[in-house]
């Protein structure tokens, strides 16, 4: 089968389309014919080994995982022994967060992994970008125990995490103020934001409103800069480690007293998460934002675009034409 393979760390062009062995469905596994996948910031960070510390987990000199891609949508082509809940022909989507391998024509995934059958109303390319940025957003929202009616500011509302966060928050009934650039104000309103701050025209940290939660989905602010935006017991969440990796440390210290605090959840993925997104997509409450689409043989270009840091939502790779 064809796959996008990288055998060394480096810039996008270390990735090449190569012929590799087709995986098989082991016991309790499904073999999925991949129709669509994504290139996201995690793929980029692992391929480039940036930050360097990634290498302690992914291989010091060379990458242990040579086929990246953690989101997928496709059709079950074969099932291994013991598989009960999926069958050949099922259209499935999901997240293969630790094993990767979706930048390929076939992918083997465990039956009890983070996957679900696809909503009937979605194409493969619509379903593929529904589990990565969105599960980071969901982890933050759940950690903050957000309730209906709470005021939330989302900084970086046009990214994969931010565009999912705005939709998930609206579904929960939060009052959402979203921060993005002037070009995308209408897009973000369309995601459900009640109020939009154009960061090219004003500094959102000087906003006069206060919030129960500030969610930095682009990792470019800090607790110190956002503290004045928080209500007395408000929560600051960020998708990034923050300046000098302070966010995980602040998440240990700040909850020790009753004031404003930082939370830094470790995102978890499981089948409940995939089913949750399936339900939201079926009902129309969540629709992943797709920016650009590429074919598998254009994946180097897709990486270059993702690494501009300016993609809007998600970048999809069509491995097979979507149906």
Query: Residues 230-269: x/- map of binding to ligand NAP (CB under 6 A)?
Result: ---------xx-----------------------------
| Given 94, 119, 159, 242, the residue binding ligand NAP (CB under 6 A) | 159
Q: What is the spatial distance between Cα 246 and Cα 251, in angstroms, rounded to a whole number?
A: 9
Minimum gap (Å) between residue 116 Cβ and ligand NAP = 21
Minimum gap (Å) between residue 161 Cβ and ligand NAP = 4
Q: Is 320 in the site for ligand NAP (CB under 6 A)?
A: no
User: Considering only CA atoms, which of 99, 40, 45, 32 is closest in space to residue 72?
Assistant: 32
- Distance of CA 224 to CAs 42, 134, 220, 249, 260, Å? 26, 26, 12, 13, 11
Closer residue to ligand NAP (CB): 29 or 158: 158
Judge if the upstream peptide bond of residue 51 is cis by omega within 30 degrees of 0. yes
Minimum gap (Å) between residue 140 Cβ and ligand NAP = 9
How many Å separate Cα 37 from the centre of its chain?
12
Pairing verdict, β 16-19 and 114-117: unpaired
Q: Is 47 in the site for ligand NAP (CB under 6 A)?
A: no
| Given 54, 58, 86, 181, the residue binding ligand NAP (CB under 6 A) | 181
| Given 118, 161, 316, 317, the residue binding ligand NAP (CB under 6 A) | 161
Closer residue to ligand NAP (CB): 31 or 176: 176
| Given 72, 93, 95, 199, the residue binding ligand NAP (CB under 6 A) | 199
Q: Is 311 in the site for ligand NAP (CB under 6 A)?
A: yes
Strands (E), the chain: 2-5, 16-19, 29-39, 71-79, 91-95, 106-110, 114-117, 151-155, 175-180, 195-198, 211-216, 230-238, 261-263, 290-295, 314-318
DSSP code string of 63-114: -S--B---EEEEEEEEE-TT--S--TT-EEEEE-TTT---SBSEEEEETTSE
| Given 25, 30, 34, 41, the residue binding ligand NAP (CB under 6 A) | 41
Q: Is 135 in the site for ligand NAP (CB under 6 A)?
A: no
Q: Is 219 in the site for ligand NAP (CB under 6 A)?
A: yes
> What does the binding site for ligand NAP look like in residue numbers (CB under 6 A)?
40-42, 133, 136, 155-156, 158-162, 179-181, 199, 217-220, 239-240, 309-312
């Amino acid at each position: 089968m064809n796959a996008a393979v990288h055998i060394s760390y480096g810039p996008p062009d270390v990735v090449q389309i190569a012929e590799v062995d087709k995986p098989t469905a082991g016991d309790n596994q499904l073999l999925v014919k991949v129709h669509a996948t994504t290139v996201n910031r995690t793929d980029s960070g692992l391929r480039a080994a940036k930050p360097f510390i990634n290498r302690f987990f992914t291989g010091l000199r060379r990458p242990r995982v040579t086929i990246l891609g953690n989101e997928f949508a496709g059709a079950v082509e074969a099932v291994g022994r013991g598989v009960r809940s999926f069958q050949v022909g099922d259209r499935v989507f999901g997240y293969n967060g630790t094993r990767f391998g979706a930048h390929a024509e076939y992918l083997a995934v465990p039956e009890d992994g983070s996957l679900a059958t696809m909503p009937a109303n979605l194409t493969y390319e619509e379903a593929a970008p529904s589990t990565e940025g969105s599960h980071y957003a969901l982890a933050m929202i759940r950690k903050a125990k957000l309730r209906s009616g709470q005021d939330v500011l989302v900084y970086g509302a046009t990214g994969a995490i931010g565009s999912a966060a705005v939709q998930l928050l609206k579904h929960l009934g939060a009052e959402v103020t979203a921060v993005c650039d002037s070009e995308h104000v209408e897009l973000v309103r369309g995601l459900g934001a009640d109020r939009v701050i154009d960061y090219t025209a004003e500094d959102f940290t000087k906003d006069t409103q206060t919030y129960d939660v500030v969610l930095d989905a682009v990792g470019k602010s800090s607790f110190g800069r956002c503290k004045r935006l928080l209500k007395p017991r408000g929560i600051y969440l960020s998708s990034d480690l923050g300046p000098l990796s302070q966010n995980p440390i602040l998440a240990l210290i700040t909850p020790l007293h009753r004031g404003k605090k930082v939370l830094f959840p470790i995102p978890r993925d499981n089948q409940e998460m995939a089913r949750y997104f399936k339900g939201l997509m079926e009902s129309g409450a969540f629709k992943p934002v797709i920016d650009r689409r590429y074919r598998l043989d254009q994946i180097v270009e897709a990486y270059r675009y993702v690494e501009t840091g300016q993609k809007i939502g998600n970048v999809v790779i069509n491995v097979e034409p979507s149906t």
